[in-house]
Each structure stands twice: as C-alpha cells, then as structure tokens.
Structure 1
Amino acid sequence: MTMKKIISRATICGFALLAASGCAKLDEKLYGSKSLDDPNATAGAADLNGVYSQLYGQTDQANTYALQEHPTDEMMGPTRGTDWGDFGTWRKLHTHTWTPTHNQVTDTWDQLNIGVFRASQVINAASDNNIKAQASFLRAYFTFQLVDLYGQAPFRDPSAPPSSIPSVKTRPEATAFMIADLEFAETNLPATSANIGVANKAAAQALLAKVYLNKAVYTAATVGGPFTFAKADMDKVIEYANKVTAAGYTLEPAGKYFQDFAWDNSEQSHGNIFGFYNTTTSAPASAKNRWRMGLHYNQTPDGWNGFTTLADFYNSFEESDERRGVDYPGLTDIVGLRAGFAKGQQYGPGHKALTQRSGKPLDFTEKVDLNFSTEAQGIRVFKYFPQPNANGTVNDDNSSNDYVILRYADVVLEKAEAIMRGGTDPLGQTALSLVNSVRTPRGATAFSTIDDAKMLAERGRELYWEGWRRNDLIRFGKFNDPVDQRPLATDKTRTLYPIPQRAVDTNPNLKQNPGY
C-alpha cells in the first residue's frame, strides 16, 4: 500500500506558491464565473465552495492528519514487508526524524497555504457578510493548523501583484490574526446551519476556545515552552465553551458514544459542531480512509492493513469503557467488525473467524514493530465505520458518515482544562465535575481528583484518532517523551515542523525554525 495524495493543480504553480501562499493563477476562477483576480469581481456562494473543498483534504490519512497523529503516543504506521514502506515517511513521523524536505511536511504546507489564499480571495471580493464570515472562519482554521504545525503563517494579499513576495506573520501575530477572523465570523455567522458542513456561530466559538487554550504555546518565548497560561485566556476558553453549551449541543448519552461517527451521525449526533457533510449520493469528504487505513485485506470491507495504536494507549482504557470498543448494531452482527479498538481474533460475516493471507488466524496483537511487522501485528482502530448492506456487502465509496472536526465533548474538556489552569466559570462548574460528565456515560469510573496527567489521558480517551493528540501533548509538555518504537526523548524543537526547504529558498521573509 502506498500513500494516497490529494493533488491540486495549484501545487504545480510557480514561484509564489513555493514562496509560501499561492501562485498568481491560484484557482483564479475558483468556482465562480468571473476571476477573483479581477478587482471588479464579487465573490458569491459558488466561490465559497472552493474554500470548503480545500478543507476536504483533512480527511486524508496523510498530511495534516498524519502530522498531528503519527508523532504521538496513540498512532504509528508500521512497515509490513513491502507494504507501507513509502520511503520511510510514516516511520520518520513517529520517530521525530523528519527533515525540511519530508514529503508530508511539504505537502501539508502547500495545502494549508492554498486554503488561506482561497479564503482571502473570497473575503476580499465578498459583499455578503455571511459569505465573508464563512470564509473568515475557514481562513482561521487553515491558519490555526499553520500556526500549530509550523509556527509561521505566510500571507499574500490577493490584490497584490503576482510578483509580490508573501509577508510572514510570526506565531503571536498569526494568533491575533485568526482570533480577529473568528470574532468577525462569530458576529456574522447564523446561529444554526443546514448541516455540519456549513459554519455557524458555535463553530467559531468552539475554534476560539481552542485558540485561547493554546495561546500560551503560540506566544511562548521559547519553542516547546515553558508555557504560562494567562487567566484572561482561560476565562475566554470558558466564555466560548459556555456559548457553545447555550446553543444546545450536548454529550451523547450512555451507550451512544459511537453515534457521533456512525453512518447516520447527521441525524443522531447531539454534539457534532462542524465538519464535512456526506450522504449516500454525495460524499465529497468521505470518512472511508479512517477505517480502510487499518482494516485487513480479508475483513469486510477490505482495507489497506496499515496504521495501529500503541499498546500503552490501548491499555489506558478501563475494560468497562465503551470507547474502548463495542459490538455495534447493524455493523457487528452483519460483517463482524466492532466499533473502536480491534484486538485479538477478528471475525467476518456470519461470525466466521478470519485468517491472514497465509492461512494463520487473523489475530491482532499488542506487539508491533515499526520497521518489520507482520500483517496481523498491531491493534487497529475503527472509530468511523461504514454501513453494511443487509446481504453483508459494503459499498463505502459514498458512505454517509459526516466527518467531524469540532465536537462538543472536546469543548467540555477544554473548559475543564481552562478551569484547572486558573480560569473562573461564572456557572460554577468544576474541572472535576466536567471531566466526570464525559467519563461516566462511557462506563468509566468517576475520578475523585483531577490533575494534568488525568486531564491529558482523558482527552486521549475521548478524542483518540480525531487529529488533536499532538496539539494536546505539546500543551501538557509531554510530546517529546519516549513512547513505543521511540525509546529516547526528543528535543523540544520537534514541537514545530520545519518550514519546507523550497519555501525557505524562495521567500526571504521566511526563517527556518529552530533545530533544523
């Protein structure tokens, strides 16, 4: 299995893209009828679709998602014979040995900067404040990922001449920039939207809470800390979290954790705030990568037999915790697949015990080797899963699972963390009560006390494989700790990725990050 890539024609553009933000002809028509390079053009809803479509790359198993998950304590991509070697791209992420020429470091930079530029085009040309607000929210999201991953944010004004070199915002400057975008978005977005794929006020509020929670990381004097969490910032996290709660989002009831990710989550979820809307007839941002990347070739549906979790992470769950894995009605009884973590003997339709290609039992083991694994080694994760047909077949090309980026349980835990870090909740809730409000419905034992270690671990158990783990580990000062297959601590400079070498070479405003 080789890595799949989303290829945009923009990636073959010339100097300005290499310089950082997009070339002169970068989607000059977007999806409208008149080029947004034309100063007389007005951006409409069709142009906004071009910005949303750039966001769909977040569902790929590579790039942004891989950079946020593979270097952590909850994911690795082992090489299995000739499968998943890919010139070491996955191994280098897990072992923190990437360089400024790493393919995913470069591709992610391109994708995020294209997103910023597309959104800026719409913001500059839109007259409708709702369209402008949606584009502002999307630009803030792309900027958030740039700030989080790379610590710098190039910016090219769409009205500037093609020969202009993009300016570069420092990490604190870019943080202030995305806060301003999100404040505008919150003011001008509607309170509700037609579906999860259209930004509303709660989406802006949820992202604002995340920005303020991480502001200490983004404004620290030294890469990797130490971090000073200002009470004013923690109070902002709480303020925005309370607004999301007031909008009516709730946690899933007991026994319903996986309905946030199932094929009918559009109708069943109480807590999904923003993501990508998919149907059985149109799935532009299908979640199928999330199950295919771990499924063995002989499972239903068949998969790519790739990524695994780490045994220590799996063992951090109590056996009673629903999030560890359950038989899911309409899934397990038809094709044998369970929701959550998959460990031990695997089964197919009719509860038939499955085998490997060699004929040996398909028994997923805790033991896994990053460099030399067999096809059955490693615990797999199926947080998203397809809807089987009654006859046991699965057509997952148009799976209707909405793909989730912002979720209410994340907001609740962010509020708890902000209170733990010195923030004041006008509603009088405590960090302990909020964490237990997430744990208890899942069948996990309630905590009697809360501290940094428990808070970080609970965020992992609730949000595993959703693309936030690296961000959390850095904020808690644990990103560089040894984990399975990475026995030694790494330097704090690894909390930022390098600026791609070709971007540094072509934009004198960019400065390479420390340690590279």
Structure 2
Amino acid sequence: MLRTIKTIFIAFTLVFFAQSCESELDLQPEDNRLTADAAFEEPGAYKAFLAKLYAGLSVSGQQGPAGDPDLSGLDEGFSNYLRLYWSMQELTTDEAVIGWNDGTIKDLHAQTWTSGNEFIRTMYSRIFYQVALTNEFLRQTSDKKLDARGTESNLRSEIQKYRAEARFLRALTYWHALDLFGNVPFVTEKDPIGAFLPTQIKSKDLYSYIETELLAIENEIIGARENDYGRADQAAVWMLLSKLYLNAEVYIESPQYDKVITYTTKVIDAGYSIADNPYYQLFLADNDTNGTQSEVIFPITFDGLKTQSYGGMTFLIHASVGGSMVPAEFGINGGWAGLRTTSKLVEQFPGEANSADKRALFHTDGQTKEITNISNFTNGYAVEKYRNVDVNGVAGSDQTGDFPDTDFPMFRLADAYLMYAEAVVRNGGGSEANAVTYINNLRTRAYGNTSGNITQSSLTKDFILAERSRELYWEAHRRTDLIRFGKFSDQGLWPWKGNVPQGKTTESFRDLMPLPSTDLGINTNLTQNPGY
C-alpha cells in the first residue's frame, strides 16, 4: 500500500488541529470546498486516508519533497516526523552529534535546550498532528458514519481492520509523547471538532490509556506476519506493549518486567528470524526484499520515487556522508557532512573501528576519534550504517541520487531479544538460558562465528545496555534506554554533553523534554514540566 499510494490529504482532517498546536502553525486544508461526506463517496478513500496516517511518519507534506507542508514554522525537511524523533532520541545521547548551526540544533547534544527550542516544539507539533489525523479517521469510520453512508458489508469489514491499525498508530504516537514529554494535552475521537483547549493528562493516565488501547486491538488487528509489509499487525502491537512495559518503572514507578517477558515471547514465537545476511544488509536500499525483512516487525517505509522528503532516510544517509567518504558508495549524489558519533559509542566495540564485531560500521579515514570542534565534520568517526544501495552495490530507484529506498526498522526482532534478556536480568522471570541464546544469535551474526558469544555470567545490566547500543545504535532507542538505566542526565558522561569537550552531567529534569512555551501561552490547562 505505502509504496503504491502517493501521499494524499483529505481536507477535513485538519479543520480542528489548531486546538492542540502552536499559534504560528498555519494549517490550511488542501481544498476547503471538500466535505467529509464527499471525500468518502469513493470507497478507496478509506485506504487512502489510512495511507496518509502511515505516511505521516515518513513524509512531511502533500507533494514531496517540499512545497506543500503539513506544518509551517520550521523547514519542511527538519519538520519530518522520523527526522525529529531520531534527533530527540540520538542527538541528545552519546551516539550522535551534528555539526550544523541551524537554530538551536546543537543544544540537543549539549543538553542545554529550553522550552523555546524549535526542534522540540516541532516534534511536539508533529506528534499532535498525527494524533489529530488518527482521531479524524476514527470519527469518519464510526458505525454511525458508515451506516449513514450505506457502506456495504465487505468494505465495512476491511474498515474495521483499518481502524485497528489507526488505533495502533495513535498509540505509537502517544507513546512517543509519553516518553518525550510526560504530561501532555490529550484528545481522542470523542472530543469535539473545533477550537478548544485540551486538558492535560498525567503520565500514569496516559500510560494506562496506551496500554488499554493496545490490549483492545490485540485481537482485532491483522495477525502477526499476515499484513502487507510496512503496515502494523499483531506483532507490532506486542512490540509496542513490550516497549511500554519495559519503561513502566520510569513512566509509572511500577516495574512490569514480567509483562515484557510475556509480550516479547509472543513476538519471538511469531515466526520472525534473524537473517543469515551480514548485519549491514539490514540497512540497505533493498532491506524490504533482501532477506533481512524476516526480522523487521514494523518499518517506516521509503521509496526514492514515491516518498520523497528531505527528512527521514534522506537525512540519515546524506547527513552521515562527508569528508573522504564517497557519496556514490552510499547511492547518493552528495553528502551533507553533518552527523557523526562520539568516542563513547566507538569504545563500546572491542578493537573499536577494527573490531571483530562487524556491527562497528565506522568510517575513520581522515576522521579523528575525538571531537575538538563539533562543527568540523572530520572530528568524530562517521557512521556508515545506512546506505541507498542494494546488496550488489546498485543505487536505489531515484536516479538523481537524492531520495533513498532504504526503510527504517522501527521495531525488529533483535530488540525483542534484547528486551527479553533485560527483563530476565531485572527479575521479570523468563529463562536465563533463553536470554543468552537470543543474545548469542545476534553476536554470532555480528562476529560471523561464535567467538563473541557470552555465557550466563556476562548477563548483567551494564552488558545489556552496552549490547543494546552495539546492536541498535542510530535506530532511535538510545535516549529512552539511557533514561531507563539512569544514565541520561545527572549520570553518564560523553563528549560534549553539557557543552564541554570532556562532557559533564546535566540536571535530572532533562529526562523529560519541556512543553513548548508557545503552547503554554495558548493553553491555560497546561503545566510545564519541572525545571523548565
């Protein structure tokens, strides 16, 4: 679906969005003459609207790559959902730095952001834009609406499946809101359309809402590995429940590691497998067909011709290339010379850039390991993880070399293995022997043999955190992981944290992002997170 349907925008979906976003966002419908009833005269409109919900994660406007944005107030490339979420999760940690001077972008790695940070503000806006779209889809597919339109039974049956997918996407978005911001405005399809001030939901209540929604659709959504590639299924629901429960001690101060065992086991038993391919092939332009898709549970899909954006994978690939790197080897027409990593990530690998662990995908030629000047691309090793070429080195479908075909693996089996192992270590039950087996499956692929395998004595919290970094770096997990392990703000050091070369600790309140000052100025129902 997502590779064949070009992003479209149904006018009524944005009528009410101003209720939960900053005043400077100028949100206008594509055609304000179009009514909801007219939009749904065509049966295919329901699937097209669902496609828009998915596309909201990968593109940032109506025509691609730019020119008709969903949100205004920040460059359309910067305002892309995946690009923003990746920046929140990676630039704030030891895994990534960016050399550009765009606005307050460097404050993310320095952990010196304020409630006026435009990147945090636009992440917040993007989240609630997605919530608004899913809410409207659910309004327009209610039994009452379908009855009024005389929707025939076969289509109604399909729409019920679509609704479960939409609810999953809303739960995913609200999980991002919970994880990043804590107490946020809360709106569902039951709220009225039109301008009003949403109330603020407490973290514990939002946690319960997300859990309830996921449990409600667990048996309504299409079964594990039975939906189209790129669409959510039962295993995606189980993964999101696992992520929610893994971090429950942070969110609601109540460990739920036994539930992590339950739901990761469901995923592991669903028939996914660690691909025989080398690790690097998970992140190539043909990662939807080259065999590595056997372990991908929920990707954000990209197509160089049909999902063009300056965010998403375009950003992750182009911005990672610079210095002596050869753009053609990455299937692109030029590098943007921005993203690198810190020595802290490099040192996670025995032997560092020359590690026998082949997950260490670093470019060192002309690069220094340590960073003395963040603005200098050659300071810090470059990361070669994502490429727009297939297993044979052939570039993706966009012959200009601008836009990649590479999909982003938001959830994959390796994460389920690591979550299971962590829950075992944290006394959630399960089997230590299984945990070791799962980790060794990953390390056998990483090393190409069993030389890197571990025994039960190595299964500690510190090992799990380091192994998560080695396996999942640059996949938008790190900030959440460091917070769960108590090493994000007032503990844990890495270069340029706190805006000093050697790094320093920061205030513990930074475990949550601030609510944007602009929204606080509009919505009197909101209270700022402590410290801001």
1:515 to 1:39, Cα distance in 2 relative to 1, 3 A: farther
Q: State the distance in 1 between where 2:93 and 2:521 align.
A: 30
1:312 aligned to 339, 344, 357, which one?
344
**1:246 and 2:269 equivalent?**
yes
Q: State the distance in 1 between where 2:182 and 2:202 align.
A: 7
Q: Please report how far the alpha carbon of residue 139 of structure 1 lies from its aligned counterpart in structure 2 after TM superposition.
A: 0.2
- Which residue in the other structure is 1:334 paired with? none
Q: Please report how far the alpha carbon of residue 240 of structure 1 lies from its aligned counterpart in structure 2 after TM superposition.
A: 1.2
8 Å contact from structure 1 (residues 263, 386) kept in 2 = yes
Q: State the distance in 2 between where 1:386 and 1:307 align.
A: 16
Q: TM-score w.r.t. structure 2 length?
A: 0.78
Q: Please report how far the alpha carbon of residue 505 of structure 1 lies from its aligned counterpart in structure 2 after TM superposition.
A: 1.3
- Which residue in the other structure is 2:56 paired with? 54
Pairs within 5 Å for 1:88-487? 89-127=104-142, 128-158=159-189, 159-191=191-223, 192-220=225-253, 228-229=254-255, 233-253=256-276, 256-267=278-289, 268-269=291-292, 270-279=294-303, 281-284=305-308, 287-296=313-322, 299-300=326-327, 301=332, 302-318=334-350, 319-324=355-360, 340-344=361-365, 363-373=366-376, 375-387=377-389, 395-425=400-430, 429-443=433-447, 445-448=452-455, 449-480=458-489, 481-486=492-497, 487=503
Give the CA RMSD over aligned residues. Answer: 3.3
Structure 2: 5+ residue runs without aligned partners? Answer: 1-8, 60-78, 143-158, 498-502
Kindly provide the amino acid, as one letter, of the partner of residue 170 in structure 1. Answer: K
Q: State the distance in 2 between where 1:423 and 1:456 align.
A: 17
Aligned partner of residue 467 in structure 1, secondary structure = coil
- Provide the aligned length of Structure 1 versus Structure 2: 454
Q: Please report how far the alpha carbon of residue 60 of structure 1 lies from its aligned counterpart in structure 2 after TM superposition.
A: 6.2
- Which residue in the other structure is 2:74 paired with? none
Q: Please report how far the alpha carbon of residue 452 of structure 1 lies from its aligned counterpart in structure 2 after TM superposition.
A: 1.1
Q: State the distance in 1 between where 2:239 and 2:368 align.
A: 37
Q: State the distance in 1 between where 2:229 and 2:395 align.
A: 29
Q: State the distance in 2 between where 1:391 and 1:479 align.
A: 39
- Which residue in the other structure is 2:520 paired with? 504
Q: Please report how far the alpha carbon of residue 38 of structure 1 lies from its aligned counterpart in structure 2 after TM superposition.
A: 11
Q: Please report how far the alpha carbon of residue 239 of structure 1 lies from its aligned counterpart in structure 2 after TM superposition.
A: 1.3
8 Å contact from structure 1 (residues 308, 378) kept in 2 = yes
1:452 to 1:261, Cα distance in 2 relative to 1, 3 A: same
Q: Please report how far the alpha carbon of residue 156 of structure 1 lies from its aligned counterpart in structure 2 after TM superposition.
A: 2.8
8 Å contact from structure 1 (residues 297, 304) kept in 2 = no
Q: State the distance in 1 between where 2:285 and 2:406 align.
A: 4
1:132 to 1:85, Cα distance in 2 relative to 1, 3 A: same
8 Å contact from structure 2 (residues 58, 307) kept in 1 = no
Q: State the distance in 1 between where 2:426 and 2:281 align.
A: 31
1:303 to 1:11, Cα distance in 2 relative to 1, 3 A: farther
Q: State the distance in 2 between where 1:456 and 1:243 align.
A: 23
Q: Please report how far the alpha carbon of residue 429 of structure 1 lies from its aligned counterpart in structure 2 after TM superposition.
A: 4.3
Aligned partner of residue 63 in structure 1, secondary structure = helix
Q: State the distance in 1 between where 2:395 and 2:173 align.
A: 39
Q: Please report how far the alpha carbon of residue 276 of structure 1 lies from its aligned counterpart in structure 2 after TM superposition.
A: 2.5
Kindly provide the amino acid, as one letter, of the partner of residue 245 in structure 2. Answer: Y
1:27 to 1:146, Cα distance in 2 relative to 1, 3 A: farther
Q: State the distance in 2 between where 1:60 and 1:132 align.
A: 21
1:507 to 1:40, Cα distance in 2 relative to 1, 3 A: farther
8 Å contact from structure 1 (residues 36, 121) kept in 2 = no
8 Å contact from structure 1 (residues 29, 36) kept in 2 = no
Q: Please report how far the alpha carbon of residue 446 of structure 1 lies from its aligned counterpart in structure 2 after TM superposition.
A: 2.1
1:136 to 1:56, Cα distance in 2 relative to 1, 3 A: same
1:391 to 1:312, Cα distance in 2 relative to 1, 3 A: closer
Q: State the distance in 2 between where 1:194 and 1:370 align.
A: 47
Kindly provide the amino acid, as one letter, of the partner of residue 412 in structure 2. Answer: R
1:163 to 1:118, Cα distance in 2 relative to 1, 3 A: same
Q: State the distance in 2 between where 1:418 and 1:38 align.
A: 47
Q: Please report how far the alpha carbon of residue 478 of structure 1 lies from its aligned counterpart in structure 2 after TM superposition.
A: 0.6
Kindly provide the amino acid, as one letter, of the partner of residue 323 in structure 1. Answer: R
Aligned partner of residue 409 in structure 1, secondary structure = helix
1:14 to 1:56, Cα distance in 2 relative to 1, 3 A: closer
Identity %: 28
Aligned partner of residue 55 in structure 1, secondary structure = coil
- Which residue in the other structure is 1:359 paired with? none
